[in-house]
């Protein structure tokens, strides 16, 4: 059964609702991917390269905004950090428990508990992009191309 694709709004203007929902859906995925992309161009390119390779690795659960900020602090550290060190970097140490549950960080016990990410930043971003793309249907190539254009990675348009 075919559904109605064109509607008329209250001002008498015709609208293609199927097209508009496709644009909103595609835009949502573009913004989602851009949120998780590394800022460094080399890391961003490497994350995309890894994301587009076939992989049997488990994709991580998505961290929320404050959890992601804590992960960024841990990635930038040269050594595992204590919760008070995370807080000193304007992180939210209370997110550590959620990151542990999601399998994104590990806890090292000793005199003080220290935390470090289980994935490198590039591997994490590649896994997130892979997971986002796995949730998409035929619009996947359009999203990859749109993200590539917006972040200056023109080679993504040829994927």
What are the pLDDT digits (tens) for 2-51?
A: 344 555 556 666 554 444 444 565 677 777 777 777 778 888 788 877 77
User: CA-CA distances (angstroms) from residue 9 to 2, 14, 104?
Assistant: 20, 6, 47
Q: Are strands 6-8 and 14-16 parallel, antiparallel or unpaired?
A: antiparallel
pLDDT at res. 44: 79
Distance CA(65)–CA(68), nearest Å, equals: 5
pLDDT at res. 70: 92
| φ and ψ of 141, to 5 deg | -65, -35
pTM above 0.85, yes or no: no
Residues in the chain: 159
DSSP string, 74-142: HHH-SS-B-HHHHHHTT--GGGHHHHHHTTSEEEE-SSS-EEEESS-HHHHHHHHHHHHHHT--TTHHH
Which of 35-44, 64-73, 104-113 has the lowest average pLDDT?
35-44
């Amino acid at each position: 059964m075919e559904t109605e694709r064109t509607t008329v709004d209250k001002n008498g203007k015709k609208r293609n609702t199927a097209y508009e929902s496709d644009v909103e859906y595609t835009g949502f995925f573009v913004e989602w991917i851009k949120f998780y992309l590394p800022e460094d161009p080399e890391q961003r390119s490497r994350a995309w390269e890894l994301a587009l390779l076939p992989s049997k690795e488990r994709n991580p659960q998505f961290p929320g905004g404050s959890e992601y900020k804590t992960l960024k602090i841990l990635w930038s550290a040269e050594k595992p950090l204590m919760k008070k060190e995370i807080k000193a970097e304007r992180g939210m140490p209370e997110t550590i428990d959620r990151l542990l549950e999601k399998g994104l960080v590990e806890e090292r016990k000793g005199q003080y508990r220290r935390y470090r990410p289980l994935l490198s930043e590039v591997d994490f971003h590649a896994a997130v992009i892979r997971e986002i793309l796995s949730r998409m249907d035929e619009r996947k190539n359009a999203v990859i191309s749109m993200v590539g254009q917006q972040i200056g990675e023109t080679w993504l348009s040829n994927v």
